[in-house]
Structure 1
């Protein structure tokens, strides 16, 4: 039996969800950016290199300025998927580039696959993945969903921790790709879209129809062999 901590996309979410749970997170990004900029003179020390809720926003704001890459290639056993990361979703883009450079995603898996909906990756039941996470740190990312992006087919979004998380902060290590032809717009406003597939949706479609168990985990593991930066 797989023992695995997963930040999952809540598939029971529907458009008529209780509005009380939709907290306005846009206290959110703009105020966070201003606050971080006001404190940006504080350099991270060696003791701060383990990323936490306290230092992550300063770290990513600085990382965003120094690491401008925005296109990556994801390699699977079924082919490659090219992804464009949106520059205006700065914290999530910077986070994804940082994890790519640290090779966190290499040999993780698409562990949740639902045909005509999404494929979700960035985790595995291998202890090496857990050790990589522990070496990077423990933190969540704020919801940044006010840029006008919709969960159209091919969009890349971040699942959120679904326990004790009223602000729907996102798991920084995982992502999902919308595979549904008409999109998954009932997710709009609850998850942060930070990129889109620009090549390889045929690969996404192939992965989406593989046989899975009752938890939507593919019966045969689908590895993300590597993610590398294109530009």
Structure 2
């Protein structure tokens, strides 16, 4: 009887320690919002959770247009809030670029942007987001569809202060397709847009928070323009 009681005590103690260690580890790795709190908007959390339960096909260059045409019709949202440790940035996505809009909304609802960074900062030019050096980012891309590109939706809208545009996988891109997982916000002078206009799809604009964009652009970075201190992103649908 004493032996059984001793064994029960050992199992109980080690079980509690394991739970505590797991909880502590999560606290260390969870990025904070601009307020320093680790609380996620409940509506957004529910939306992401529901979206992850839906069995979507992997997106490829063959089904990208059909997929986002259908998805966009069922998910008409255009307003997104991006939170960082330096503050919040509010975006409005254009209906006139339906594939890019639907793609961005899809990524937000799938929780893709969580644990990605603003990974490129160039003062008086751009900040670029949607990537990270974490294994979780590559896994998310693989789950969604790592190899698809978005067809260009260039419609005569030029890049201006606060424009949101699709990044590119490579510069020599005659079809001017966008990389689906990364975007940039332009904050430079109009004299810096000559090589951007007509070559990148502008699919939205910042409606509030350009002061935050400016702060992020001025962070110290390495030779690859990657901030020395990571700027985590969380994104949520406003409406």
TM range (shorter): 0.7 to 0.9
Alignment partner of 1:155 is 2:163:
yes
Q: Deviations over 1:103-154 (max 9, x none)?
A: 10011001110000000000000000000000001200111112x3111000
Distance in 1 between residues matched to 2:169 and 2:113, nearest whole Å: 19
Q: Which has the higher contact order (CA 8 A, sep 6+)?
A: 1
Q: Residue by residue, what CA displacement relative to the aligned partner does 1:189-231 show, whole Å, maximum 9, x if unpaired?
A: 000000000000000000010001001000111111x100001
3-state SS of the aligned residue for 2:230?
coil
User: SS state of the match for residue 136, structure 2?
Assistant: helix
What does 1:99-114 correspond to in 2, within 5 Å?
99-114=107-122
Normalising by structure 1, report the TM-score.
Answer: 0.76
Q: Could you say if the C-alpha distance between residues 211 and 106 of structure 1 is closer, same or farther in structure 2, counting changes exceeding 3 Å?
A: same
SS at structure 2 position matched to 1:97:
helix
Q: Kindly report the root-mean-square deviation, in angstroms, between the aligned alpha carbons of the 2 structures.
A: 1.4
C-alpha distance in 2 between matches for 1:142 and 1:80: 29
State the SS of the aligned residue for 2:88: strand
Tell me the secondary structure at the aligned position of residue 130 of structure 2: strand
2:186 maps to: 178
For 2:192 and 2:101, the matched residues in 1 are separated by 21
Offset at 1:182? 3.6
Q: 1:119 to 1:183 in 2, by over 3 A?
A: farther
| Alignment match, 1:223 | 232
Deviation at 1:62, TM superposition (A): 0.4
Which residue number in structure 2 is paired with residue 17 of structure 1? none
Greater helix proportion: 2
Q: Which has the larger radius of gyration?
A: 2
Residue 183 of structure 1 and its aligned partner are, at CA, apart by 6.5
Q: How far apart in 1 are the matches of 2:190 and 2:213?
A: 15
Which of residues 97, 121, 137 is equivalent to 2:105?
97
Q: Distance in 2 between matches of 1:52 and 1:153?
A: 32
Quick one: distance in 1 between partners of 2:227 and 2:116? 13
The count of residues paired between Structure 1 and Structure 2 equals 183
